[in-house]
Amino acid sequence: MSFLSPIWFFALVALSIPVLIHLWNIRPGKTLKVGSISLITEASKSTRRSFKLLDMLLLILRCLLLALVAFFLASPVWQRYVNTTKAKGWVLIPKESFKESYRNFKPRVDSLTKAGYELHYFNKDFPKVNLTRILADTALKDTASTANYWSLLKQLNKKVPDTLPVYLFSPNNINYFKGEKPAVDLNLKWATYTRADSVSTWIAGAWFTNTNAIKVTTGKSGPGGIYFTDEVIQNEGNTDITVSAANGQPVVSLKDQPPIPVDTATLRIAVYTDKYNVDASYLNAALNAVTKFNGRKAIIKQYNNTAQIPGGQTWLFWLSDQSISGSLLNNTANILRYESGKPANVSSWISADDKYTLPNQAQNNKLYKWIASTDKAETIWHDGYGKAILGLEKQKGNIYHFYTHFNPAWNDLVWNEDFPKMMLKLISGDAADVPAQYDKRVLTNAQIQPDIIKKGKEIVSTKPLERVDLSKYFWLLLVIMFIAERWLANKNKMQTNG
């Protein structure tokens, strides 16, 4: 037996209260009636006190009552090891891929079940199933799943003893493994396979170009990775992509896939500067290279007067130390602004996280000057010490805080071939988001296997334990003891008065 709140055992100090009461309980003397006291000689006066524990049974009951209150408040529980199964072991297969998994490991599954191993679904609560009934069920089909096998493994770790052999058969698709690899104390043998539909193709995006052609980005995924290709549709008969219309909106689609709307919007980019015209020239060159490579319909225009900037811009590059008006903040989807402040000389470089670029030549983007960042935004580009060079703050639109300038006096970024690539990733966003149903990447067996917790050569055994709440039994004893104490106290009182 153990206790969840042992601090309540300090209440046992209260046991001294009934003891003290009983010690100081002085019974009144008895009066003897005599006819005359004339013949009684006077004796010397003496006083005697006797500290005796009277009514021992009542004292014991009251002490037990207080002790039971303390035990009840300490939340008693009974812990015991649970014999979860009498089977020789478990065989686990995900329900959503049962038939394909069984086909891949049929000899092993059959031999294990014949040897006395129980078959369970590798799903929540791990229900026990019958292999013969499953194979006879024609309605059971493999389906898509969002299960997290590593999360299920943590649950399994709490359910079965570490001495029970467990065989797990599952696909190795990357979508089934999320978060950190778990550490478990299981007697586990995990075999995986690559699913039959190991290659997929889908349309990641489509838009109109400046020549009113449709440019489509197609994603392809396989066990080894994902890559994207761009295709300009000139003649529909020479491509697998179908162009049609839905509710007046042009759409493109691949066979047996839902249509994807074609983006008909024009990318509107405004560059504002008041005194940084050199910076604007470098930026305009990069933006022109980006839109030419991307092929998307775009309008790039430089402004020196804020009143001339029309609303509804997709991007506004604010190359100025002035504050931005509220109307521009509310009517622009994305704003990249120079941060104002005193520039400081530094010796570092500009890099970016993998979401926006691969910093293979990051140290060539030398950083000479910057304005100390406030670190209140998500870091997009950073220096060699991890401090923000470009930070994203999400408000009604996206506000990008730029802590240096597009100028060779501040950094070498504008001279580097990575500059247009970084701007392309920034403007286009993360187009590499892959729908889960199309992601066919796989993990190797070494990447999938969990860490086994061991102590020396033996697996640490801290489970399975079952906790039984004993509070209700202590509550019942409290009621019984209270009734007994009241009965005995009243009985003693009646005897004393009698």
- What is the C-alpha separation between 143 and 221, in angstroms, rounded? 19
Residue 430 has pLDDT above 70, yes or no: no
Of residues 7 and 390, more confidence is placed in 390
Residue 85 has pLDDT above 60, yes or no: no
At 327, is the secondary structure helix, strand, or coil? Answer: helix
Strands lying side by side in the sheet with 249-253: 242-246, 249-253, 260-261
Average pLDDT over every residue of 155-178:
91
How confident is the model at residue 488, as a pLDDT? 79
What does each C-alpha distance from 203 to 142, 291, 432, 469 come to in angstroms? 25, 20, 11, 57
- What is the C-alpha separation between 33 and 255, in angstroms, rounded? 119
φ and ψ at 380, to 5 degrees? -105, -55
Average pLDDT over every residue of 230-256:
81
CA 275-281-283 angle, to 5 degrees, is: 105
How confident is the model at residue 316, as a pLDDT? 96
pLDDT band at 357 (very low <50, low <70, confident <90, very high): very low
Residue 6 has pLDDT above 80, yes or no: no
Lowest mean per-residue pLDDT among 26-35, 171-180, 367-376: 26-35
pLDDT band at 359 (very low <50, low <70, confident <90, very high): very low
Average pLDDT over every residue of 352-365:
52
pLDDT in tens, 436-477: 888 899 999 889 999 988 654 344 444 555 667 788 888 888
How confident is the model at residue 51, as a pLDDT? 44
How confident is the model at residue 228, as a pLDDT? 85
How confident is the model at residue 280, as a pLDDT? 96
Q: Give the CA radius of gyration of the chain.
A: 40
Beta bridge partners of 303: 272
Lowest mean per-residue pLDDT among 50-59, 82-91, 320-329: 50-59
How confident is the model at residue 404, as a pLDDT? 95
Residue 356 has pLDDT above 50, yes or no: no
How confident is the model at residue 121, as a pLDDT? 95
Which amino acid makes up residue 51?
F
Lowest mean per-residue pLDDT among 59-63, 125-129, 236-240, 471-475: 236-240
Number of helical (H) and strand (E) elements in the chain, helices listed first: 11, 28
Mean pLDDT of the chain: 82
Of residues 53 and 284, more confidence is placed in 284
Asked if 492 and 59 count as a contact pair (C-beta separation under 8 A), the reply is no
Instruction: Name the helix (H) or strand (E) containing 230.
Output: strand 225-233
- What is the C-alpha separation between 450 and 446, in angstroms, rounded? 9
Lowest mean per-residue pLDDT among 41-50, 108-117, 190-199, 447-456: 41-50
Average pLDDT over every residue of 244-255:
88
Place of tokens 């104390």: 185
